[in-house]
Chains A and B, each alone.
Chain A
Amino acid sequence: MRLFQNAKYAFIEARKTAYVLSGAAVAAGIAAMLINVATIGTWQDYGVDFTGGSLIHVQFNTPVTAGELRDALGGAQAPPITRFGEENEFVIRAPIEDDVSITEVADQIESDLGAVLGAASFDVVSTQAVGAKVADELQVRALYAILFSFVLTLMYLAMRFELRFGLAAVIATLHDILITLGFLAVFRIEIALPTVAAILTILGYSLNDTIVVFDRIRENLHKKGARKRDQIELVNESINETLPRTVLTSGTTLVVLMALLALGGAVLRDFTLVLILGVVIGTYSSIFVASPALIEIQKRWGLGKGSEKKRPQPATV
């Protein structure tokens, strides 16, 4: 069995459609983020890791409604309560209060619940309490990490390929991050540490996919007379040549992630959802964003200085 053998799809010709699609997706994401700012006050549903505060996850032995919990925790003043996965499981989030130690808030919630509903009626599955300083640092460090990895990736690709390949890869990665953030905003998926790990995984996956396509473009560019060929045709050919690999790898990864989504339980659900989205977007962007970006950059600024350089010798293993 062989999939997409000798495929000859006109991917680059369809780039205008892709631009519209990507543009719409990014715009929808940004709109969702703006709506979030208007309604909940932040771009995303940041978890306590980013905002600071306390989170307590409780599991009751008997059916309880969110309303009962709310009453137990002071009615109108109660912190936000959400159901988590299974029935009778709830997550209560409390913001940081001045002059109260962060650990006391969770303790207070636990004792309030115990006082009204009975201490034996529930188990505390997990608690988290994060101070404001830790949360701020996390944001800053996450931002630095992403920026630095952009810069170094760009430098590496400029060195191993050409500058325009590096730029196109960074554009594709930015595209993926924007759409993922938009998706998170639309569905108000909580941004917790595992979500951050998932976003990072997407970055890695998307970059890997892009490099495989770019590697083939690089190889085809080094063939005789390649520079004089129609570049759109050459890029198209490269994408089609790597298509069997792209489909097989992405397909297998998706099936594995589906298994994780179906069987991995509530803890991994958000995390897996983000990964699935990332694989789809990463595959799409290497074909419809990174490769067209390469063409567009070339149209504007030419082939670049490195074009006549010999192909770097691959490392031997």
Chain B
Amino acid sequence: MFKTLRGRLITILIVALVSGWQLYDKGLKLGLDLQGGMHIVLEVDDPEGTMTPEAKADMIDRVVRIIRTRIDEFGVNEPLIQKVGADRVIVELAGLQGDEDRAKEIVQRNAFLQFKLVLTTTGMDNALSRIDRSIVAALGIDSIRAMGRDVAGGTDQQALQDLLFGGADSTSAADSAGAETGEDAAAEEPPEDESSPDDLRPFSSLLNIGDIPGTYMVAIEDVPAAEHFLALSDVQRAFPRDQLLHWAEDMEGRGARNYKYLYVLSEDAFLTGDLLNNATAGRDPQFNQSQVQFELSRAGGRRFSTFTSQHVGDYLAIVLDGEVMSAPVIRDRIGARGQIEMGSGTPLEEAADLALVLRAGALPARIEIIEERTVGPSLGQDSIDQGQVAGIVGMITVVVVMISYYHVAGVLAVGALGIYALLVLGGLAGMGATLTVPGIAGLILSVGMAVDANVLIFERIREELDHGRAPRTAVDEGFGHALSAIVDANITTLITALILYQFGSGPVQGFAVTLAIGIIASFFSALFVTRSLFLVYLTGKKTTDPISI
């Protein structure tokens, strides 16, 4: 494949296409120093040094779990949460603008774990028309119409019947009801300007009866609208006494659509995370079921015991930072020690995750921000603009120098450098690496080495021509003799890059990654691509025909 010219050209084409596709498909991620954003490093605060490494590692797991549940609040694309070493977490929020203080507060805030009783939907059903009216009153018909939520309905009773009919028997029924109440209702009853505000059902039309008692299901595309409504203070006042609606963390697939559960919970928590001492995941040997065992403090045990004895058969919601993580049924009275059965089909990881959630509610130590970097979007944009101009001018310089100095051979080198650029950028995109200012330094070095490799080869070819060799032989000799210098230079630089990656922290590692990718690309470009292009150039020439170099 590499021997024939055709094979070489096909190889180059494939490599170029793959790189180009990677670049097009994944795009090049810019580091925080180039696009703005926030970088925070958190560490377990242990001034006395009394925590064991295991305790710290567990604490970090919990912190990561907490931040992960909160990450949506940041409103940034592709947030990064990464454990580093035994006791650190890096949180990177690229493109975050102006919310730095809130972001710091969110990652550092202690998690709030609550146990709440799941109620029936009866009370909430009766309040739905009141809730709808309060939304109409708070937002006005126009803005509701603008949201596309101006769905009119009959009386409360009818609305309720729709809901009950939809969700009465099975999940698949709830599914079709979702389609009906959402789309069909809107289609059958086109929004009429005359429809009285009292008839609009902006919120209740989003709800389907859930297949777990005490829940509604909301289609995933309706969740933002529902969240918007629920955040209104008038809506919260319209709730039945001592009742609240809480979202579940995960979404559930039903048929082709995804839904989020909305739980009706008691407003007061009967137990909070600080009364929980420990939680571990395990497997019940008898039934081979995943389960979570938990241990409460003495006071917690007493409270739990009283509560559970009154509510056998009811559901118990485990709420972390306002989101329902799980809602097991209470089978029996539970004291200071209890366990949550996860069902036989549940993987152990899910149990481990729930145990982590339970432990997250009471962290044994503080977490501290030990490093923080924020870059405003203005600096990032300026850097990119100026860097691009400088980069283009630099590229033009290289092209002009190579072509004016080496003529046709220079054109071949420029072609090879083009492939090099595609390879590096595609490689960075493919590996999901981010480009930072130190990364650009690595790129400059590797571009320099790519140009240098071509210069080495061409100078050698010229020398061989000076010694009176025929052009074709001179080309072969030139590549052959330049090889050892190129190999040794590239390998030593690669060694340095690997060491820097090993010992460096974030930005130095960025330098090392771009340098390493750049060196591999420059190696391929100079020795394989330039050579192949030379072979194309020499095709049809006689051995003694002069070459332009």
Q: What residues of chain A have their CB less than 8 Å away from a CB belonging to chain B?
A: 1-2, 57, 59, 101-103, 106-107, 123-131, 133-134, 137-138, 141-142, 144-145, 148-149, 152-153, 156-157, 160-161, 193-194, 196-198, 200-201, 203-205, 207-208, 211-212, 215-216, 218-219, 241-242, 244-245, 248-249, 251-253, 255-257, 259-260, 262-265, 267-268, 271, 275, 312, 314-315, 317
Contact = CB atoms under 8 A, between A and B. Distances in A.
Given A268-B383, A271-B441, A149 B507 contact: no
B4 to A, nearest CB: 16
25 contacts: A1-B405, A126-B373, A129-B372, A133-B370, A134-B370, A141-B508, A142-B503, A142-B508, A148-B503, A161-B488, A204-B493, A211-B485, A212-B489, A215-B484, A215-B488, A216-B485, A248-B401, A248-B459, A252-B398, A253-B448, A256-B448, A260-B444, A263-B386, A268-B383, A314-B483
Contacts of B489: 207-208, 211-212, 215
Contacts of A160: 488
Contacts of A200: 441, 496, 500, 508, 511
A131 to B, nearest CB: 4
B401 A255 contact: yes
B368 interface: yes
Contact of A264 (B41, B100, B373, B387): B387
B373 A256 contact: no
Contact of A130 (B371, B451, B483, B515): B371
A131 B370 contact: yes
Contacts of A207: 489, 492-493, 496
Given A133-B370, A249-B452, A264-B387, A197 B378 contact: no
Nearest to B443: A201
B404 A1 contact: yes
A271 B508 CA distance: 14
Most buried by A among B382, B393, B515: B393
Contact of A101 (B369, B376, B447): B369
B386 A265 contact: yes
Given A208-B452, A219-B481, A127 B374 contact: yes
B459 A245 contact: yes
Contacts of B534: none
B495 A149 contact: yes
B394 interface: yes
A153 B497 CA distance: 11
B508 A197 contact: yes
Contact of A123 (B376, B387, B480, B487): B376
B504 A263 contact: no
Q: How large is the interface on B (under 10, 10 to 19, 20 to 34, 35 or more residues)?
A: 35 or more
A257 B492 CA distance: 23
Given A103-B104, A241-B463, A129 B398 contact: no
B334 interface: no
Contacts of A153: 492, 495-496
A158 to B, nearest CB: 12
Contacts of B187: none
Given A152-B499, A208-B449, A271-B437, A126 B379 contact: yes
A161 B484 CA distance: 11
A242 B489 CA distance: 15
Contacts of B100: 127
Interface string B502-546: 111101100100010000000100011000000000000000000
A74 to B, nearest CB: 22
Given A200-B508, A208-B448, 16 more contacts: A1-B404, A106-B372, A129-B372, A156-B491, A197-B511, A200-B500, A201-B445, A204-B445, A211-B489, A212-B485, A215-B489, A255-B394, A256-B398, A256-B448, A267-B386, A271-B441
A248 B374 contact: no
Contacts of A219: 481, 484
Contact of B484 (A57, A142, A208, A314): A314
A204 B515 contact: yes
A259 B442 CA distance: 17
Contacts of A138: 505
B164 interface: no
A144 B389 contact: no
A103 B508 contact: no
B462 A126 contact: no
B442 A201 contact: yes
A103 B379 contact: no
Nearest to B45: A101
A208 B488 CA distance: 8
A205 B448 contact: yes
A94 B527 CA distance: 51
Contacts of B491: 156
Given A128-B373, A203-B496, A207-B489, A268 B437 contact: yes
B375 interface: yes
A127 B373 contact: yes
Nearest to A263: B390
Contacts of B452: 208, 212, 245, 249
B447 to A, nearest CB: 8
Contacts of B507: 193-194, 197
Contacts of A244: 459, 462
Interface string B292-326: 00000000000000000000000000000000000
Given A197-B508, A252-B451, A256-B397, A204 B496 contact: yes
Contacts of A128: 372-374
Contacts of B442: 197, 201
B101 interface: yes
Interface string B356-373: 000000000000111111
A275 B444 CA distance: 10
Contact of B437 (A194, A216, A242): A194
Given A1-B404, A156-B491, A197-B511, A126 B444 contact: no
Most buried by B among A131, A161, A218: A131
B338 to A, nearest CB: 38
